[in-house]
Chain A
Amino acid sequence: MNIIPIRSSCSIRVTLNGRPVELAVRPEALLLDVLRDRLQLKGAKRSCDMQVCGACTVLLDGAPVSACTFLAVEADGREIVTVEGLGTEERLDPLQEAFIDHAAVQCGFCTAGMLLTAKALLAEDPAPTRERVVHYLRGNLCRCTGYRKIVEAILACAHAR
């Protein structure tokens, strides 16, 4: 038995925001850095770097993960959605609309993570209670808004369905 490790670059194929992408990454490359520095997708942010704040949230096969603490090689063969893939300026996702309407955006540093987390929640539970929304947002910090408008924006989307 002789298993060979990945030591240098290895090629990965990812469906990124709906489009296939192939690129070579090193084993220690973090998904957040690959998205931001290699693929120029700057929407996901680095803040706590410890999986607490959610600024780096992306969806991996629909589930939220912390790109700050996730190896890019793990994304091979999987589907990733970043905030850039959520909606376009012409066709915003209803959550994006709701965040704007409810003033749930201030500095915007948490916004991408909040939106994607909410997206995953609504996919799981299209009509969550307030408690469910708050519980789901446990790992998404916002230092500007005081959360109220964010929760309201998400609930508005849920109810609009």
Chain B
Amino acid sequence: MLRPFALYRPSTVGEAAEVLAREGPDAALYAGGTEVLLILKEGLLRVRSLVDVKRIPGLDEIRRDDGHLSIGATATHRALERAPAVHAHCPLVAGVARHVANIRVRTIGTVGGNLAFADPHSDLATLFLAFDGVVRLASRSGERDLPLAEFVRGPYETARRDDEILAAVRLAPWPAGTAGAYVKFGVHERPTLGVAVALMRGAGGDAVTDARLAVGCVGPRPQRLPEAEARVCGWSLADLARHAGEVAALAARDVDAVGDLHGSAEYKREMTRVFVRRILLVAGARAAGRDPHEHYPHTIIV
């Protein structure tokens, strides 16, 4: 059961921003509603009005833009899974989208809603960090871009100002020849841990020239792990196969793990080690042209 509210249906970002400016904290943005309606039902949030952003034309667009993959805030997980632009430029994203939540939430839930809600157990926030995700925020005073890493501040907390709308998230596609992989683990409804990895290699060379490693769900917000990333650089695939454990240990050291229903901080730290190593090996194998079909219980590898 929901308590009464007024529903605004702006048709431009500007209109939405105006309503937000007018209503202040008495209004909440609403896209698919898979999160916001839940917390309204639970009584955890009470507002006088909802501002529906999904009727704003173009806000769900997924396209290549200026070398980036731009994902409109109101694109659903289902759209992400199927969009040709995603398959062309960030295919891993399409694969991960297929494993978010369940079919009903994927049908209705949006990328913007996922990021703006900042539930620490988000696959997308973790994955997008590995694509140097940048969110575009729009308000009456114009637009600003903010790296995702700065946007997500903590559990259910973002750098979005009350009058701002998340318009899109922009991903930097990995260069050709990059091997990427994502793993999620956990027995609960939402993931206990997510790790995204990318190994970039110079043209023709075997050595890893650059790397991305992001870990999420285990702590208050997803993190990139720069030291672990740096350790991989310069390694050959053989080095990687031999020393993946070192990188994993660094990741486990640096990750900010907190205990919750999903497990203790200690366990999550250890799982970070386990899955960073595993996913590095998967990415390494992919870089070598193999696709290892690893199966672990309660684990999805994309």
Contacts and interface: CB of A to CB of B under 8 A. Distances in A.
Interface of A: 1, 3, 5-7, 26-30, 33, 49-52, 54, 57, 60, 63-66, 69-71, 73, 117, 120, 136, 138-140
Given A1-B14, A66-B105, A117-B103, A73 B7 contact: yes
Interface of B: 1-11, 14-15, 18-19, 33-34, 37-38, 41, 49-50, 78, 101-105, 107-108, 189
B107 A65 contact: yes
15 contacts: A1-B14, A3-B11, A3-B19, A5-B6, A27-B7, A28-B3, A28-B5, A52-B102, A63-B103, A64-B104, A66-B105, A70-B37, A71-B37, A73-B7, A139-B101
Nearest to A29: B2
Given A66-B34, A139-B103, 13 more contacts: A1-B14, A3-B11, A5-B6, A26-B4, A27-B5, A27-B50, A33-B1, A49-B41, A51-B102, A60-B107, A64-B104, A70-B37, A139-B101
A25 to B, nearest CB: 11
Nearest to A50: B38
B257 to A, nearest CB: 25
Contacts of A65: 104, 107-108
Minimum-distance CB pairs A-B, first 7: A139-B102, A5-B6, A27-B7, A28-B2, A5-B8, A6-B7, A63-B107
A1 B15 contact: yes
A69 B33 contact: yes
Contact of B15 (A3, A33, A49, A64): A3
Nearest to B40: A28
A139 B104 contact: yes
Given A5-B49, A69-B41, A71-B33, A139 B6 contact: no
A30 B33 CA distance: 11
Contacts of B189: 52
A50 B188 CA distance: 14
Pick from B11, B19, B49, B107 the residue with the most CB of A within 10 Å. Answer: B107
A110 to B, nearest CB: 14
Nearest to B55: A74
Nearest to A52: B189
A57 B78 CA distance: 17
Most buried by B among A3, A6, A30, A54: A3
A51 B2 CA distance: 15
Contacts of A7: 6
A51 B10 contact: no
A51 to B, nearest CB: 6
A64 B103 contact: yes
A136 B102 CA distance: 7
B105 A139 contact: yes
B8 A138 contact: no
Nearest to A140: B102
Nearest to A49: B41
Q: Which of B19, B41, B102 has the most CB of A within 10 A?
A: B102
A136 B33 CA distance: 21
A112 B109 CA distance: 22
